[in-house]
Structure 1
Amino acid sequence: MEATLAELPLSDGSVLRYSLAEAMASSGIPAISFAAISRFEIAVARAYGVTAVGELTKVTTRSLFQAASVSKPVTATGALALVRRGKLDLDNNVNDRLKSWQVPDNEFTAKEKVTLRRLMSHTAGLSVHGFPGYAIGAQRPTVQQILDGSPPANTAPVRVVFEPGSRQEYSGGGITVEQLMMSDVTGKAFENLMRDTVLQPMGMRDSTFAQPLPDGIALRTTAGTLFDGTIVPGRSHIYPEMAAAGLWTTPTDLARFAIQTARARLGQADVVLDVTMMEQMFQKVPNGDMLGFFSDPKNPGVFTHNGGNAGFRSLLIMNSVTGNGITVMTNADGGWGLMELLSHRIGTLSGWTHDFGGPARAVWLVAITNGANMALSHFEAVRSTAQESDLNEAGRILLAKGRTDEAIKLYRRNVEVYPTSGNVYDSLAWAYEVAGDKAQATSNYRLSLGHNPANENALERLKALE
């Protein structure tokens, strides 16, 4: 795998081959670490690269990365453990359990209430998608201040913005309500509660929700890398929104968590949750999905989650039917594509019966190394399974590298292929704005609004351009 990470077809029938080292160097990713799972056992764990841009210290399989939103299914396991003990319930109003703060009622809660089941499945109707974190040394808010959006919180108030249970809308704010409720009913600090309830019982010896980290643990962390290739100031952000984004861990520990979860689902383990509680976790809720995880319609038995904090990306995929899976972590904002390539390659080499959505695609990698024309050739070769995000992501990377004309070329092709998507016009408009072409930028923002009148970014940019 190290020698041949990807074999990427071109429209003329030729193939571009990349090693793992070439892909990491080209995309500016200092480190990547993974654990591959086969038949409910960790088959192999590897780590490549260095702890930070410009450093010489090599990562190991025990180097720590921020799990970001992969914190959420780990938190869900802790919440369900409290349900099992009778400390929490799934379907009653969370305000019945909250002691230090209450979800404000409004017209949306007149008939339906916010419940723990809805919090964990993102169907509670709550706002605030995610959190940017806080710089080292910056004043940090309490959880209550975060939920009310009061200083020094850097996000809006968490409020009910549509009727609970009516649809699914991802909400890190809702998971932060879950965090507070877990602490309220137990009287324990969240990081200690999760250590005692989930991390230690599941053998996750290199994991912690502590924010900020104790000095001894901090020495084993990797440093986050921003899209522009610089290190996150202070090496990483602090996330008092621990349940939603605060877990520091390793792919090996996440693999242990995934295996225990899969075995418990099959009734083969009862470390934290028994099979009855697992039935609750994996039963899809009305208008939503699982509790803590997401399913994959193309791959029966799969439960998954990914995550992104400032400078970090993470991925967990596990199949409770086959016992195969993978966990991958990087310390780079630009790590998504490499994680997908690595997962695809390991799955292929291991003979998994997993639908990855067609042959390996990496338009972004070809664009970086061989330019826009070659990237378009690769896109055409895999077009039957491609997505609009392929060209969009490649264009974003080229823009970040100052290769604006090439980015525009990719975005223009995306508009041709996906002419009804407001998002592709928005991206093309931004590229023209970067290039200083106000007329084309204005025209494409308007086209974007024609397909998506709710595009707030396009509205804001048009005001700025007028």
Structure 2
Amino acid sequence: MRIAFIAMTAMSAFLLSGPAPAQAPCRQPAPHQADSDVAARQRIHAAMPRLLERYQVPGAAVALVQNGVPDWSHGYGLAIPDQGIQVDPSSTLFQAASISKSVTALTVLTLVQQGRVALDQAIMPQVQGGAGSWQLPASPYDRNAVTVARVLSHTAGLSVPGYGGFPPGTPAQSLLASLKGAADAGDTSLKVVEPPGQGFRYSGGGYSLLQLLIRTQADKPFAIAAAQRILQPLAMTSSRFPATPTASPPLAATFDDQGQRAPARHFTALAAAGLQTTTIDLARLLTLLMPGPCEEEPGRGVLEPTLIQRLLTPMPNSDNDLVFKGSRYGLGMALYPLASGRQLAYHPGDNLPNWHNLIALIPERGVGLVVMTNAAGGRALRKDLLCLWLDALGESHHEDSMGGDCASAETAVD
């Protein structure tokens, strides 16, 4: 059964304050950049109703960052169709899925900044205080080569690509039990299955190990540490890593592959997949990775600029094709070189049954895009929207790097 589409938009565009709002803009974008920013907003707004209809997505929310600050957001369609509740970009919650990894990476970097974590040293000695008797199982590969930076960049050769989560009524495992054998990942244990440092192998399990690292070195539960170190300083007031999902509303309803409403799942692997947030809050997150309009440096006082630079630097042997073929990976973000010479940083997020989201930014230009959706078609919708955004900004890219159908969204604005 297909999901019936209701052509309805919610929330007119509105101005957002960043984590450190100024009374007036200190630096205006160049005229050609301001024009492209406006074009991006107009083209996205014109395209979204038709994209929702084309891909049978009940609801979505979009936010843009311009000139280093959150600037515009809009809700489209319905968050909960059977109740007629519209998507509101400021209050409708979505599961961010693997975008959680970017928040986790930033949380780790706060510990690096304090000298509690060493990026280029083996991770296991740094988690021993919280690991009990658990160890990475013996393997043909060197466990001491599993460094924190390699875990962050999916180059540590670790198992467990991702987690399915637990349906309502099924208790989540403890973190250590999950590391020994994740019930929502085929009872797979976390282990080294490829030579560390030799190639990209996406590992949600590695981020569960980072969850243990944060809990150990921050001496607090992961959800509290991430909130205090990243979410609260950035005024991401609607964001959290909950043990169980928030009720709907404000959490959007999500739908299975047959278009039937499905309950939201909960996670042991909070660091890999557990963030619950709004598009506006994710726009605030993106500002941390770019300069601000009033000479604010990347990091915005939360992290040193050098750590942001390290996050946005590709790790050796991190080639991947998460969204763009020819991407590489830094510390919690995928990275893609644009034809202009600038770098696109991005991360997709996909949780069962059908949360499909994307964050993307061009730090050098101070621009960013957030899109969150609640049905299967959101995977294709976010790609079309990313193409529209890049084209409107004049940032050319190789169409075949996106699967050859990047231009398909153009018909949505005819």
Q: TM-score range by the shorter chain?
A: 0.7 to 0.9
Per the alignment, residue 36 of structure 1 pairs with: 64
CA distance in 2, matches of 1:80, 1:386: 30
Contact 1:139–1:152 (CA<8 Å) still a contact in 2?
no
**CA, structure 1 residues 19+200, in 2 after alignment: closer, same or farther (shift >3 Å)?**
closer
Per the alignment, residue 97 of structure 2 pairs with: 68
CA distance in 1, matches of 2:198, 2:100: 25
Per the alignment, residue 297 of structure 1 pairs with: 337
Matches within 5 A, 1:279-318: 279-288=309-318, 289-298=329-338, 300-310=342-352, 311-318=354-361
CA distance in 2, matches of 1:32, 1:41: 21
2:208 aligned to 171, 176, 188, which one? 176
Q: What do the CA deviations read for 1:143-174 (whole angstroms, capped 9, x no partner)?
A: 11111116587441111001111111111111
Contact 2:390–2:396 (CA<8 Å) still a contact in 1?
no
Contact 1:72–1:292 (CA<8 Å) still a contact in 2?
yes
3-state SS of 2:314 partner:
coil
Per the alignment, residue 281 of structure 2 pairs with: 253
Moved runs in structure 1, 4+ residues, more than 6 A?
A: none
CA distance in 1, matches of 2:105, 2:182: 26
Larger radius of gyration: 1
TM-score, with normalisation over the residues of structure 2? Answer: 0.77
1:353 aligned to 394, 407, 414, which one? 394
CA distance in 1, matches of 2:194, 2:238: 39
The alpha carbon displacement at 1:211 in A equals 2.2
Contact 1:267–1:275 (CA<8 Å) still a contact in 2?
yes
Contact 2:80–2:249 (CA<8 Å) still a contact in 1?
no
Contact 1:126–1:160 (CA<8 Å) still a contact in 2?
yes
**CA, structure 1 residues 20+302, in 2 after alignment: closer, same or farther (shift >3 Å)?**
closer
1:334 aligned to 377, 382, 386, which one? 377
Q: How many residues align?
A: 344
Q: What do the CA deviations read for 1:391-413 (whole angstroms, capped 9, x no partner)?
A: 9xxxxxxxxxxxxxxxxxxxxxx
Contact 1:52–1:231 (CA<8 Å) still a contact in 2?
no
AA paired with 1:79?
V
- How high is the sequence identity, in percent, across the aligned residues? 29
Per the alignment, residue 107 of structure 2 pairs with: 78
Matches within 5 A, 1:118-137: 118-137=150-169
After alignment, is 18-27 or 128-137 more displaced? Answer: 18-27
Matches within 5 A, 1:198-237: 198-213=230-245, 219-232=249-262, 234=263, 236-237=264-265
Pairwise CA RMSD of aligned residues?
A: 2.6
Contact 2:95–2:274 (CA<8 Å) still a contact in 1?
yes
Per the alignment, residue 425 of structure 1 pairs with: none
Contact 1:24–1:30 (CA<8 Å) still a contact in 2?
yes
**CA, structure 1 residues 227+79, in 2 after alignment: closer, same or farther (shift >3 Å)?**
same
**CA, structure 1 residues 153+38, in 2 after alignment: closer, same or farther (shift >3 Å)?**
closer
Per the alignment, residue 88 of structure 1 pairs with: 117
Contact 1:305–1:315 (CA<8 Å) still a contact in 2?
yes
Contact 1:266–1:320 (CA<8 Å) still a contact in 2?
no
Gaps of 5+ in 1: 4-17, 359-384, 392-466
3-state SS of 1:206 partner:
coil
Q: Which has the higher contact order (CA 8 A, sep 6+)?
A: 2
Per the alignment, residue 142 of structure 1 pairs with: 174
Contact 2:79–2:85 (CA<8 Å) still a contact in 1?
yes
Q: What do the CA deviations read for 1:374-401 (whole angstroms, capped 9, x no partner)?
A: xxxxxxxxxxx5866759xxxxxxxxxx
2:53 aligned to 18, 25, 38, which one? 25
**CA, structure 1 residues 226+150, in 2 after alignment: closer, same or farther (shift >3 Å)?**
closer
CA distance in 2, matches of 1:64, 1:79: 25
Per the alignment, residue 102 of structure 1 pairs with: 135
CA distance in 1, matches of 2:76, 2:119: 42
Q: What do the CA deviations read for 1:270-292 (whole angstroms, capped 9, x no partner)?
A: 33211121232122222123110
Gaps of 5+ in 2: 1-7, 10-45, 319-328, 407-414
After alignment, is 266-275 or 79-88 more displaced? Answer: 266-275
Per the alignment, residue 422 of structure 1 pairs with: none
**CA, structure 1 residues 51+271, in 2 after alignment: closer, same or farther (shift >3 Å)?**
same
Contact 1:128–1:155 (CA<8 Å) still a contact in 2?
no
CA distance in 1, matches of 2:388, 2:49: 14
AA paired with 2:53?
A
Q: What do the CA deviations read for 1:155-202 (whole angstroms, capped 9, x no partner)?
A: 411110011111111111111101111102222111111110100001
Name whichever structure is richer in helix by fraction.
1
CA distance in 2, matches of 1:186, 1:268: 23
Contact 1:324–1:352 (CA<8 Å) still a contact in 2?
no
